[in-house]
Structure 1
Amino acid sequence: MTILVCGSLNMDLVVRSPRLPQPGETLTGHSFATIPGGKGANQAVAAARQSISTAMVGRVGADDFGHQLRHALAVDGINIDAVQVDAETYTGIATITVAESGENQIVIVPGANGRVNAADLTHLKSRFATAQLLLLQCEIPAAIVAQAAQLAHAAGVTVILDPAPVPAMDLRPIYPFIDILTPNQVEAAQLTGRSVNNLLEAEKAIAHLQQQGATTVLIKLGEQGVLCGTPQETFHIPAFPVSVVDTVAAGDAFNGGLAVAIAEGRSLQQAVIWASATAALSVSQAGAQPSMPTRSQVGDFLTQADAAID
C-alpha cells in the first residue's frame, strides 16, 4: 500500500514579524529561516510521518535548495526516485511572512515546479500498480494536474485534490475524476464565486460544487472546523482547540492525514477527525515540514481529546 504525491517542492524563506504588513509598509521582523516546503512535499511528509509508504513525483532545480529538498524527503523515508533534477532552471521558492497570531502571507515562485510535464506523468503511471491513493495540489501546471487525475482515476487509484492555489484553468472538467476535493474557505469562494465565511455558506458552496460535477467535497474552515459533503450526507467536524503558532501547511497536514486514514480503510468521518487532529498538531508548531506530526503523536492527541475514531 503506497500513497503517491504528485506536486511541488519549494524551499520556504520564512520571516517572522509582529503582524502582517499592510501594502507599502515596511516592518522589522524577528527572525529568518529556510525550511523545506511546497504543498506536494509537505503532504508527502505528512503521510510518511504516519508510517505509510509514500512516493513523491516532482521537480527541483540543480542547485543547493534542490539538493536539500530531496535530502529532506529521503530522511523521512519518502521514495524520491521520481523527483527529477532539472538542470535548466532553479528550485521553486516560497517567501512566507508569519505574524505572531500565526497568520501568514505567501508568495510562490514556481521554478522547476512550473516545468513538471508529461515525462513526469510517465513516472507517475509506473507506480499505479502498487498505489492506493494519489494526492494532488495546484502548484504545478494545471494541465498536468488534470492529466494526473484522469490517469489515476482510470487506474482505479483514489484521487484527492487540494485546489490550492486555485488555477486560472477551469477545474470543472476534471471534477468527475476527483474522489475528494478539499478547498479551504478562500479557495471554495474562488471556485464558486460566492462568499464562504460560515457553515451555512459552506453548505451552499458544497452543493454548488456538486452540481458542477464534484462528488465528495471537504471545505476546511479553520477554527470553524471542516464541513463535509458526499452524495449521501453532509456533516460537520469541529476544529480541535489548540494554541496556534504557525498556520503554514495546516491544509497540507490535513490532506496527508486524510490520505493515510482513507488508505487504511477508515470511514470518511473517522478520516476527517484524524486529518483534523493532524492539522491541529501542525499549527501548534513552527514551520511547514518540521511541524508534521507522527502517527503516535496524532493517536495520543486524539486519546487526550477523547475523540472517537475507531
Structure 2
Amino acid sequence: MAAVVVVGSANVDQVFRVDRIPEPGETVLSTGFANARGGKGQNQAVAAARAGASTAFIAAIGDDGFGRLTAEGLAEDGIDSSRLRTLDGPTGTALIAVDPRGENTIIVEAGANGRLAPLDEADRSVIAAASVLVMQLEIPLETVAEAAAAARAGGTTALLNAAPIAELPDALLANLDVLVVNEHEAAHLRSSSGAAELTELVPTVVVTLGAEGAELHRRGGDVVRVPAPRVTAVDATGAGDTFCGAFAAALAEGAEAGDAVRFAVTAASLSVQEHGAVPSIPHRAAIDAALAE
C-alpha cells in the first residue's frame, strides 16, 4: 500500500541551455542539451518517493522510446507503476529553455497524458488505500475530478497543485483538502481579498513564493510564512513539483502542515541548485541535512 499516490502527467523534457530566453521571432543558439524525465505528475511522484514516502503513480505513457525511458526511471526510483498505462502514440514531451539565472520557458505536448481517462476500479482502490493523493492539471480535468472523488470516498487527503492554471469546477473544489498554487495561480483563482479567500473553498491553501519560500493559509487560522534558504539557483525547472511531492510525503508521515511546508521549501531550495527536473530532485538524506543546518 502506497502512502502517497500521484495521478498525473509523465513527460520527457528536452532541455536547451541558452544565454537568454528568446523574444518572439528571435533565434538563439543553445549552449547545451539533454533529455530528462519530467512532467508535473512524474516529478511529484519522484519527489515524494525520494523524500521517503512509499509512492504509486497512475499515469499514461506512449509506446515509444520516451515511454520506455519513463518506465525504467520509475522503477529505479522504487515507484509503484502497476497502474501505468502504455497507449498507442507518443509519450508527453516538454520543450524547455533555461537561462544562466535558472529562469525557464516551457512548451508541453500532452501526448498520452491527454488520454489518461477514465479511472477504473483498481485505480480507485489504490487512491482509497493511500494517505495522500496528489494531482495536477496536465491530464484531463475529468480524471482529476474522478481521482478527488475517489479520495473523498476513501478518506484519503486530496492535494491539488492547480498548475497549469484552469477554471476549477465547484464539485472538484469540494473534494479537496489542500490546494497548492504559486502567486500567479492564486491571483487567477481569487478575487480581491487575498489567498485567505481561497480557504473558503479549500480548507488548507499553500502559496509558493519561489525564492521567498511559501505561505500556509488554513481556514480560521493565522498565516504561517516559511522563508526559503538563500541559495544560488541554476535551474528552477521542477522546483514547484519538488515542493508538492516533498510536502505530500511529509503529510503522509503525519507531519503538522507548517512543518510539512518547511520540509518542502527546503527540498525545493535544493532542487534549484541542480539542472533538470527529475535529475535535480533531492533524496531524503540531503533534505534532512539541509534542515539540520
TM-score over 0.5 for the alignment? Answer: yes
SS at match of 1:139: coil
- Structure 1 residues 295, 21: closer, same or farther in 2, change over 3 A? same
8 Å contact kept, 2:178–2:205: yes
The structure, 1 or 2, with the larger RCO (C-alpha pairs under 8 Å, 6+ apart) is 2
Provide the rounded CA distance (Å) in 1 between the counterparts of 2:165 and 2:128: 30
Which residue of structure 2 aligns with residue 104 of structure 1? Answer: 104
Give unpaired runs (5+ residues) of structure 1: 195-203, 305-310
Letter in 1 for 2:29: T
Which residue of structure 2 aligns with residue 177 of structure 1? Answer: 175
Provide the rounded CA distance (Å) in 2 between the counterparts of 1:170 and 1:47: 25
Task: Kindly indicate whether residue 219 of structure 2 is the aligned counterpart of residue 220 of structure 1.
Answer: no
Cα distance, 1:174 vs. partner? 1.7
CA-atom RMSD, angstroms? 1.3
Q: How many residues in Structure 1 have an aligned counterpart in Structure 2?
A: 291
SS at match of 1:127: helix
Within a 5 Å distance, the mapping from 1:1-310 to structure 2 comes to: 2-87=3-88, 89-118=89-118, 120-167=119-166, 169-192=167-190, 204-211=193-200, 213-231=201-219, 232-304=221-293
Provide the rounded CA distance (Å) in 2 between the counterparts of 1:121 and 1:240: 42
When normalised by structure 1's length, the TM-score is 0.91
Which residue of structure 2 aligns with residue 200 of structure 1? Answer: none
Provide the rounded CA distance (Å) in 1 between the counterparts of 2:179 and 2:168: 14
8 Å contact kept, 1:176–1:215: no
Letter in 2 for 1:124: D
Structure 1 stretch displaced more, 133-142 or 222-231:
222-231
Letter in 1 for 2:225: H
Letter in 2 for 1:249: G
Provide the rounded CA distance (Å) in 1 between the counterparts of 2:113 and 2:121: 16
Provide the rounded CA distance (Å) in 2 between the counterparts of 1:130 and 1:173: 22
Provide the rounded CA distance (Å) in 1 between the counterparts of 2:127 and 2:149: 12
Q: Percent identity?
A: 40
Provide the rounded CA distance (Å) in 2 between the counterparts of 1:150 and 1:135: 13
Letter in 2 for 1:184: N
Provide the rounded CA distance (Å) in 2 between the counterparts of 1:121 and 1:137: 19
SS at match of 2:264: helix
Letter in 1 for 2:76: V
